[in-house]
Structures are given as structure tokens and as C-alpha cells.
Structure 1
């Protein structure tokens, strides 16, 4: 009986043990799967990084608000395939950030620059056809046949007569030398040469020899056909050798001298055609070719003279009248250049910067690049170096991309040497995010925008005013409106002051709200640029 009980107990114990092991296996296996699943979910959550669409330097591992602009943080997209290299200076922007910043892009392409250079000029006398008559010998003016300036004279026409004791003595020497013409020919020749040097013609000298007596009065003859523009003497004046008598100019051909700015000179060469109008001859268009380009640039106006020669047989074109011309550049027509819009360029005065879109990114990504610019071509610039055909660059919202790069401590317009982070996120402790953002603000570029009035008239004024501002170090952008007379300037106030911008404009000849240009500089402006000044 005792043995039977023991066997039954052993059997019950065995069954209980097996059942316990089976239940334990079920419980712990399910619990392990759940723990593994929870661990995977936790790891996936840890891998999600949240950022601000407007301030990509803000990064944290949980949702929340941007400490700078209080926008909702969004999950950060890697934007690259697994194993793909990302440049540390790339600026990634989400679709919402691109829309808020109004970013637009264009593909760099080759094309023919459309360059029509607008020029303003004045009619001038042909310097090769100006004759200044001076007294070759001393004497007294006995008669004048020219009574006022503006009279037309022909070559060889009498302008006046002069009595000269010195000339009478020289004639007597000639008459004496004639007696020894055969025995002493050198003495005779010297006497004739002396009279020639005093501007007597061969006919006048022969007449003295034939008459056998000296002439008391000698005629002043015009050396060219033209217009008497100056009369320096009156009847009875005694003149010395070398004294000015008359100025005669031949106006059958005149020069039209156009002013060309530095930025236009690369597109101008000798032989280019210019169509121009002259204000004193309304309704008529003249044509000419560039015959001369001044090798020097005026230090004050920053222009070089471009000359066109114009036939003027009827003398309807008067010197000192204004001319407006358009030059169609042959240089531009014969080139095939890389062209980019002006709006795509950030210009510091020393460097030209664009932002190139990185290809094959799921999230739009841009990277800083310095380029070398060629000549200006209307609303475009020619690219000399730094870009290739087919690359995509930002053409609108460029400044906002650059601002994001500055905040992130990456390559930017004002930070060409990246590596020193200015955002304050050197420590990766996300609990100190708010403190780091506060540290970031003093390190950012102090960019300032100002709008104020600048007097001016025309497109030439616009180029002069904007050039005067852009040459200052620290100026990012300058845009003057011909219609409103207002200029918008963005600049780094740590490098240039607003007062310095006003002074630079005034030094170029234009009045601002704070500075007035000197009268001398204002008066040196081209006629079309001389605006009405406030009293």
C-alpha cells in the first residue's frame, strides 16, 4: 500500500513539473518578444531628429517649438541614400522652408549676351581742324576784315593787315641780297627763308622782288576754310611775336564724344556702330562708327570717352549740343558665354557668391560657391570661372539661404572660411538649447536694411548711385528706383555705417536725405543727370 502511494505522488509531481515548465516557456517567450519589439520601437524613436524649417541649425530628438521663431519642429529628413556622402557645408531646406523663403532656381546655360550700350555725349569740334593764327612778327593792326566771331572764311582769305618795322627791314635785306644772287646765292636764299619763316608765301616774296621795294603793310590770311570762333585783336592793337590773332575752325566734320562707364567698356571696340540722335536736330537719327576709345578713365566721373566722327557739310550740328546714342556690341554678338541672372549673385565688393543646388537630393540642398564674374550684360553677368553649364543655382531667395548658412556656422557670404560655428551649439546637450540660442545671437552677422531718398534723373544716375554704394566694403545690395527716387540698401553695420553710405553717394554728385553733394561735383555730372536740387 505504501509503495503504491509513492508512485502516484511521483507521477503527480512529474506532471506538475512538466506543466509548469510549459507555462513558463510560454510566458517568458512572449515577454521577450514584447521587450524586443519595445526596444526596436524605442531605438526607432531615438533615431528621429526634429528641426525647424526656417532655422535648420536647431536640432533635437523630440517634437517641440523652435526656440528662435516658435514654429513647430518637424522631423528632419536625411535626403540622401544610404552610404551617400553629405558635404558638411550643405544647407538643407524642406519644401515649406523653400516656399517661405520664395527660393527659385535656374539652370546655368550658355547664350549670346544681349548688350546694347546706352551712351550720352556731346558734339565737339574736330581738333585736327582747328587753326590758331598767331603773329609771326611784331607790329600794329591797321585793318580788320573780320568784324565778329562766327563769320565764315575761305582758305587764303584776308583777315586783316599789319604794319611791322621788322618786316620792312627783312624786305630790304632781301632786295639787297638780290643784287648778289649770282655771286652769293646762300645769302640770297637765307633772306628768302627768313621771310618764309614769317609766314609769307612764295607769291608774296616774288612780288617784293619784282616791285623792287618793300611793302609797308602785310595781309593776314586764313590758313583753312572754316568759321572764325575767336578774335583776339582790334584795329590799332600792337601785337608781339607769338600773340594770338584769330581762331578758325572747320566744322564740316565734327566729333561726337560719348561717355562710357567702366562696366560698358568691355563691350565696346573700334568699328562698332552707334545710332544716335542730337537734341538740336529733332526727328533725325544719325549713324556712325567708333573711331577712338580714350585710354584713360576720368577719376571723378568714372567714364571714358568714345569718339564718333560725323560729316557736317551743312553745319546743322552745332558743337556743345547733347547726343543720345545706342551701341550694339559686336563683341557680345560674336560670343557664346555662360550667363547667370544678377539676382543670383551676392556681391561683397571682393567676392561674388552663388548657391548651387546639390543634385539628386530628396530634400533640396544648396552649397556656397565663390565665382569669378566677367562683363555685365544687361540683367545678366558673364561667368568667367567657377560654374559649369548645366549646374542649377538659386536666383531668388539667395540672401535667405545665405542667412541660414551664417546661422549654422557654414560657408557664407560673410564667413568664407567655415569651421568656426557661430550658432552656439558646440555642446550637444539638448537640455541647454535655449541657453545656446541666446549665445548665438551676438555671433551672427549684423545685417541692416535701410531705405532713403536719393535725387537723380535717369538710368545713368541709377548705375552711378548703385556703383558708388556697392564699392563700399560690407554693402550687400543697393537698388535705386528711377521712379520713386528711393534706394534700398542692405549692409553689414559692423563694417560700414549708414552715414558712410550717404557720403559715398554725395561724393558721386547726388544729394541724399543726410548729405548734399558739392556744387563742383554736381556741375561735372552729364547734362541729363543734373537733377533739380532742393534749395
Structure 2
């Protein structure tokens, strides 16, 4: 028995020794001993341990990297399959920890495109609203040179056309009769008392009595009882201040006659528009009342003073008006394509390269001399808009390369890695969930707090009628029918033209004018295009201005849903309005009909 127990103890010790030796050899082979093997040179003990399986427990969407989940599934935004999230490490040579390195495959998948920042002369297309006005140089105010009574009236209504020298009225004036008698009496003594005679003649001349009429009075020896008022110019009587039998005093206004063969097109230019407008610039404009015709002219005058209340300056175009088809007070919409007034070269960047937070403008600059595409967050200061570009006031230098497409995806990747990004300028790591609207560049800038104002109910009804035509255009976008979109855009433009601006007063009036500067051109471009992609880009711009309108003025007993897709508008995100809460995406149609979410309900 003792021998058996002794053998068991011996064998147990042997097993322990063998087990310890095996563990030691294994540790030496995979840790220290790994230095002598090819496999070991690539990995080291703990660092060689595969953490990929652990890291793969975080799942994200290739199109919406802000989505992070702990298990596989479908993207809650677009419905695509989630993929494992892999960390992208910077090159070892990076000196800035905020540099974001992408693999060539990732950059191609994200459709990253870049451009070189250059010095160019900025150009812009300015949309101006205005009215037709009378040419002030062709206005004649006819007043009474002497007091009396209107005995005859040859102008029976306002708007009557007259020619130069036509009779307008006949006046009986007791003072004029007395002055004529003085002339007749003085004529008898013109040889002996010429001063008296000349004074009597000059008195009549000052009352606009011609020398021929004076000679006739002197010849007849009897005063004329009635004198005619004649038109000094050919034109249209636009104002009549007297009626038959009225008594008028010297200096009283009788008629206003305007020559409408030439009219002024007076455009309203805001302070931000003035750097882009200069004398001699060509202006193309349309008059909604004459939809079949297009007009053009040159800037003849820019008002040197800005109105203190409206903050606008008048920009004048002189226009010939044969047949008087153009009527004063008609509304006009014009476009000025111009270089900046200073004609200086400045740094320009495409609008697609800029991300807005409302306070900051952000671009991603490509880091040179990197094996893989590498980008660095840059905050810049922007100058005025220049068409599809922004003028850069500071923050960039000529020759730098910036991302112009896929910028939002670069920013999303930076956020996921805790680097500097649009929403995290300090580079703090964030945890994102199903909140795919907050990183859109338009959400802070365009959707600031807008207070609703009380306006004339008639205006709200007209705005609602425009909104109803907008919904038909929205349905055409959902169907991806470019021809139908064009037709409905034109219908919407007509409905917008029926909204009476005169119903608004003060700040509301100015706000609506500002919104029209975006609404009208966007609808015009959509209506003139048959390319669904171009139409959708303008549609995204249109909806930002329409949000301000509906938020400020409301709808007439109606509810609308303000909805958003982060993938629209080149992955910069875009909004639209719907009469239903159900998501039906107008930017992708059947491709991703349910992609999006309702951001706000406006009642």
C-alpha cells in the first residue's frame, strides 16, 4: 500500500513538472522566443493578441458612421446592413494627433474629392426684386399760374394720353382780366410812359401769357376772358387734381403728365448685394405680367444712400418702352452676373467644402507627403458668397488642398475617433446613437429660433395656397419625374407670385422679401431644368427658405412635417416638407424612400 501511495506522489510531481515546463516553453516561444522567428518579428506577446474579435462587437453603417450599436443589424436610417467598426490609425510619422488617415479603399468608397485653393476674381449671380417706376426726367407737373375758376375741362379721366400743346383746361381769372385792362390802358401811353407799358407786359408774361397773346390783346383792345392750360410734353395724364367748376389759387396743382416712352426699373439691393453690383453691369430681368418676354439692360445708377429702415439701396436700369407695355408699379425679378466690384483676386473655396455650425466654418485640409489620404480639421473665416463658392477671409493659403466631396463623411470619421471635428472642435470623444440630424451643416445655421408673427389672415391663406402647390411638386420629386417637377415648379412660382407682399408691414415685410430672394430663383431654376439631380440641389435650397416662411407666418388650418435626410445634397443633408408624418424621401425616391426622419411639426 505504501508503495502504491509513493508511486502516485512520484507520478503527480512528474505531471506538475511537465506541466510547468510546457507553460514555460510556450511562454518563451510566443513571447521572448518570438524574436527569432519571422512570425514573432511582426507581433509581440500581448500586442500579438488578436483584439479584432473584441473590437468587432461595435457595429456601424458605412453610409451613416454616426450610428454605433453593440450588435449587428440594420441601419435605423437607411436600412443597410451594419458592418464591424475598425479603427483607422494615423501613420507613425504624423506629428499632429488630430490628423485623420484614410485608406485608399475607404477614400474611394466615401467618394472623397479634393481641389487646390486658388486666387481668383470672385463672381456671383445676384437675384434682385424691384418695380417699374416713372422716369423722373419725363414728369411734368402743371400748376395754376394765376387764380380763377375752371370753365372747361378737356381731360376727363386719369390715364388719358395727350400730345405737346394739347388743351387740358380753360380758366376764367378776374385777376388776369384786370391785368389785361392795365396793359390796354398803358398801351395808350407807351410813347410817353414806356416804363409803365413794359411793366404791364411783363406782368402778363410772368403769368405764362405768350408774346403773341399779349400782342393780340393789345391789338383787339379788349381783354380775353378765358385762357387755356396746355400740356408742355407728350405723355399720359397720371394725376388730375381739379374738376369742372373748381376754383384754384395761384400755384395750385392741376395735372401731372408723364412720358412713358422710357421707364426706370428700380431694383432693391441689400447691403450684402452691393459689393457685387457696379455701374454698367448687365441685368437680365423678367416681368411676371409679361411672362412671354425677357428683358435686359445695364445698371445706370446705384443709390449712394441706403434706406435706414429697409436697409436697401436702389439700383436703376433704364428701359425703352415702345407701345407702353411696361406699366409703372409692375413687379420685376432680375439677375446680375458680376465680378466683385473691387475686381481683386481672392481665395475661393467651393461651398461643398465648407461645413457650418452656425458659429464656425470648417474645412478639411489634405496633409501633404502622406502615403495614405490624410486630412486635418481647419476653422476658417468666410467672406461673401460668390456663386457656388465662398471667399475666404482668413484660415487658408493659396496652394493648399481641401476636400470638396465627402467632407461630411470625413468629419463623421473624425468624430468617431475622438479627433477635432465640426461638432467637437476640442477633439473630445463622443458617443453617438440614433441622432442623425445634428451633424448636418444646415441645422444650426438655417434653423435658428424663429418667432411666429401675426400677419393679415389673407396673407396666410395665400401662403397656404402656395404650400399646396409645393406639395404637388414634392410628389413629382418622390416619383423622380423631372418633367413633372418642372411643370409643378412653374405652377408653384405662379402661386408664389399671387402672394401679396403689400399685406405685410415692417419687419415681417422685410423678412418675406429676404425669403423671396431664395424662393423665386430656386423655383425658376427647378422649372427651367429637366435634370432631376440639378432640380434636387435647388430643392434643398428652396426648403431652407420655405422653413423660415412657414415657421414665421404659419399655415391656414393646416399642419406640415419638416423632415430631413442626412444623405441628400451630396451627403450634407437636406430638408423637405410633407403633409404626412410618414417618410417619403423626395431626394432619392424609390431608391431609399423611407430614409429620413421628422425634425419638426409646424401647425
The TM-score range, normalised by the shorter chain, is 0.5 to 0.7
1:85 corresponds, among 72, 91, 95, to 95
From the two aligned structures, give the one with the greater strand fraction.
Answer: 1
Determine whether 1:66 maps to 2:70: no
Structure 1 contact 136–199 (Cα < 8 Å) conserved: yes
Residues of 2 paired with 1:373 and 1:49: CA distance? 49
Q: What is the DSSP-based 3-state SS (H/G/I as helix, E as strand, rest coil) of the residue aligned with 2:176?
A: helix
Matches within 5 A, 1:393-412: 393-405=402-414, 411-412=420-421
State the match for 1:146 in structure 2: 155
Structure 1 contact 465–510 (Cα < 8 Å) conserved: no
Q: 1:38 to 1:352 in 2, by over 3 A?
A: same
Residues of 2 paired with 1:306 and 1:315: CA distance? 22
Structure 1 residue 299 displacement after superposition: 8.3
Cα-to-partner distance string for 1:290-317 (whole Å, 9 max, x where unaligned): 1012446678987654322123355454
1:233 corresponds, among 227, 242, 247, to 242
Q: What is the DSSP-based 3-state SS (H/G/I as helix, E as strand, rest coil) of the residue aligned with 2:69?
A: coil
State the match for 1:219 in structure 2: 228
Structure 1 residue 50 displacement after superposition: 9.8
Q: What is the DSSP-based 3-state SS (H/G/I as helix, E as strand, rest coil) of the residue aligned with 2:158?
A: coil
Structure 2 contact 518–542 (Cα < 8 Å) conserved: no
Residues of 2 paired with 1:463 and 1:362: CA distance? 51
Q: 1:201 to 1:504 in 2, by over 3 A?
A: same
Structure 1 residue 250 displacement after superposition: 0.9
Structure 1 contact 466–480 (Cα < 8 Å) conserved: no
Structure 1 residue 319 displacement after superposition: 3.5
State the match for 2:133 in structure 1: 124
State the match for 2:255 in structure 1: 246
Matches within 5 A, 1:291-440: 291-295=300-304, 304-321=313-330, 325-329=334-338, 337-405=346-414, 411-414=420-423, 418=426, 421=428, 423=430
Q: 1:211 to 1:379 in 2, by over 3 A?
A: same
Q: What is the DSSP-based 3-state SS (H/G/I as helix, E as strand, rest coil) of the residue aligned with 1:159?
A: strand
Q: 1:379 to 1:360 in 2, by over 3 A?
A: same
TM-score of the superposed pair, with normalisation by structure 2: 0.57
Structure 2 contact 299–316 (Cα < 8 Å) conserved: yes
From the two aligned structures, give the one with the greater helix fraction.
Answer: 2
Structure 2 contact 123–339 (Cα < 8 Å) conserved: no
Structure 1 residue 223 displacement after superposition: 1.9
Residues of 2 paired with 1:213 and 1:51: CA distance? 123
Q: What is the DSSP-based 3-state SS (H/G/I as helix, E as strand, rest coil) of the residue aligned with 1:166?
A: helix
Larger Rg, first or second structure (1 or 2): 1
Matches within 5 A, 1:90-239: 90-94=99-103, 98=107, 102-111=111-120, 115-117=124-126, 121-173=130-182, 194-239=203-248
Q: 1:483 to 1:276 in 2, by over 3 A?
A: closer
Q: 1:89 to 1:486 in 2, by over 3 A?
A: closer
Structure 1 residue 272 displacement after superposition: 1.8
Structure 1 residue 44 displacement after superposition: 3.8
Q: Would you say how many aligned residue pairs link Structure 1 and Structure 2? A: 441
Cα-to-partner distance string for 1:406-450 (whole Å, 9 max, x where unaligned): 56665444555x37x464xxxxxxxxxxxxx5xx88xx9955898
Residues of 1 paired with 2:158 and 2:513: CA distance? 41
Residues of 1 paired with 2:550 and 2:175: CA distance? 61
Structure 1 residue 220 displacement after superposition: 0.8
Q: What is the DSSP-based 3-state SS (H/G/I as helix, E as strand, rest coil) of the residue aligned with 1:389?
A: coil
Residues of 2 paired with 1:49 and 1:157: CA distance? 106
